[in-house]
């Protein structure tokens, strides 16, 4: 499974990004990521989940998952993230920060 993640916006307007391939992760970590994708129902989420009104300091998220010939991208923000997607976004945010070195 390959995942591309980008978070932009927020108060400081900083961008975080990470690309992840579960084949390069330890087995238990790869299973954890796959479980988060499944529990979020990622491939059933709409491609765009816009906010009714733009939050000035809201983070914008773009996540693309490729798995077993399927590819799906979801665009959302802090105001509209489905509850089931938060664990994956938090994991990817942490991963992006770690790769960035901060």
Q: What is the pLDDT of residues 8-65, one digit of tens each?
A: 987 777 899 999 999 999 999 999 999 999 999 999 999 998 776 666 678 999 999 9
Q: What is the pLDDT of residue 54?
A: 63
Residue whose C-alpha is closest to residue 100's, from 29, 10, 33, 15: 15
Q: What is the pLDDT of residue 102?
A: 47
What's the average model confidence in pLDDT over 75-86?
Answer: 93
d(Cα 67, Cα 78) in Å, to the nearest integer? 25
DSSP label at residue 80: T
Cβ neighbours of residue 27 closer than 8 Å, sequence gap 6 or more:
none
Q: What domain range includes position 81?
A: 2-100
Number of structural domains found in the chain: 1
Residue whose C-alpha is closest to residue 90's, from 1, 7, 2: 7
Which band of pLDDT confidence, cut at 50, 70 and 90, is reported for residue 101? low
Please check the confidence at residue 5 and state whether its pLDDT lies above 90.
Answer: yes
The structure's pTM equals 0.89
Q: What is the pLDDT of residue 50?
A: 77
């Amino acid at each position: 499974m390959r995942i591309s993640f980008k978070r932009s916006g927020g108060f400081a307007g900083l961008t975080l990004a990470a690309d992840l391939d579960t084949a390069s992760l330890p087995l238990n970590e790869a299973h954890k990521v796959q479980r988060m994708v499944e529990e979020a129902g990622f491939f059933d989420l709409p491609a765009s989940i816009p906010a009714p009104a733009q939050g000035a300091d809201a983070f914008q998220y773009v996540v693309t998952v490729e798995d077993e010939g399927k590819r799906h991208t979801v665009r959302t923000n802090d105001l509209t993230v489905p509850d089931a997607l938060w664990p994956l976004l938090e994991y990817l945010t942490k991963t992006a920060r770690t790769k960035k070195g901060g």
